[in-house]
Amino acid sequence: MDEDGLMIHLEDICFGYPGRPSVLDKLNLSFYGGERMGLMGSNGSGKTTLFHIIMGLLKPSFGRIEIMGRPVKEEKDFREVRKRIGLLFQDADDQLFSPTVLEDVAFGPLNLGKSQDEAKEIAVRALESLGLAGFEDRITHKLSGGEKRLVSLATVLAMEPDVLLLDEPTTGLDEATEERLVDILKGLDVSYILVSHDLDFLKEVTFGITCMSNGTIVRDDERIPHTHIHVHEHGRYAHEHGRKWPHDKG
């Protein structure tokens, strides 16, 4: 497989949850190897849904999906996809299910046919790379929210995927951990699509930011008029800018 080939190609994907207006409407996406794409969009715009469609967890009502140059339709095809693409769920509680951290992280490698020793080694390495050395025997559902996030990421990294789909990886992380995540992401040798609402974070770890709205991907080069809201000293008190205060001189 060539590194810079077309990894994910979506054509006219339509999807709607039963009894609701459609979430994705003729969505097109081309994602190339080596790319690091940031994905933004308002709450409920369908980012999570898009990821689940790529992984074959939801079936589009219309459209074509090609992964690594091959069309994928059935569950059987998606099984291969899941070996190459790792999804970090928005909610870490969905991702962790084994009693202990080590077992959970090793679950993926074991499924990929690694031996027990290999799987253990991969798991330990994945945990270490996230600064989670010593977490092996912790009980997964007794971790803090941020710890669960990181362990979830370790479970995905342990699959050694070519492409990562990261659904809001920074929620619940403190500043120091977020910085560590930035370093980790920068050091990784994988392509990824990253959903986040944090523009500064996205700027740091991605090469370009794409927006989702009205069920489609808005092209990067399009300029969208928008307003900023920013934090402001004395914002609590009504005041006008440019007005001269009595004690101001000049």
What lies within 8 Å, CB to CB, of 218 at 6+ separation is 210, 211, 212, 224
Instruction: Copy the structure tokens of residue 242.
Output: 């440019």
Q: Which H helix or E strand runs over 86?
A: strand 85-88
Out of 46, 86, 109, 161, point to the residue binding ligand ATP (CB under 6 A): 46
Residue 20 φ then ψ, to 5°? -130, 155
Residue among 48 and 140 whose Cβ is closer to Mg ion: 48
User: Quick one: which of 1, 2, 43, 76 contacts ligand ATP (CB under 6 A)?
Assistant: 43
User: Among 26, 35, 83, 90, which residue interacts with ligand ATP (rule: CB under 6 A)?
Assistant: 90
User: Which range in 39-47, 124-132, 142-150, 153-161 contacts ligand ATP by CB under 6 A?
Assistant: 39-47
| Spatial separation of the C-alpha atoms in residues 199 and 225, rounded to whole Å | 16
Residue 177 in the binding site for ligand ATP (CB under 6 A): no
Q: In what order do the strands lie in the sheet with 6-15?
A: 24-32, 6-15, 62-67, 70-71
Q: Which does 199 bind (CB under 5 to 8 A by kind): Mg ion, ligand ATP, another protein, none?
A: none
Burial code (b: 16+ CB inside 10 Å, e: under 16) for 224-234 equals eeeeeeeeeee
What ranges in the chain are assigned the alpha helix state H? 47-54, 75-84, 92-95, 101-111, 116-129, 145-157, 175-187, 199-205
User: Applying CB under 8 A, which residues contact another protein?
Assistant: 52, 55, 57, 79, 82-83, 86-87, 89, 91, 93-95, 97-100, 102-103, 106-108, 110-112, 116, 119-120, 137, 139, 141, 155-156, 159
Stretch in the footprint of ligand ATP (CB under 6 A) among 45-53, 113-121, 133-141, 238-246: 45-53
Binding partner of 141, given another protein, ligand ATP, Mg ion, none, CB within 5-8 angstroms per partner class: another protein
Site residue total, ligand ATP (CB under 6 A): 12
Min separation Cβ 8 and another protein, Å? 15
Contact pick of 39, 41, 48, 158 for Mg ion (by CB under 5 A): 48
Q: Return d(Cα 119, Cα 105) in angstroms, integer.
A: 9
- Identify the residue whose tokens are 């362990």: 151
Among 1, 2, 44, 250, binds ligand ATP (CB under 6 A): 44
Closest residue by Cα to residue 198 from 48, 40, 51, 36: 40
- Tell me the C-alpha to C-alpha distance, in Å, between residue 33 and each of 84, 86, 137, 244: 12, 14, 35, 56
- The one of Mg ion, another protein, ligand ATP, none whose footprint includes residue 87, by CB under 5 to 8 A per kind, is another protein
Q: Which residues bind ligand ATP (CB under 6 A)?
A: 17, 20, 23, 41, 43-49, 90
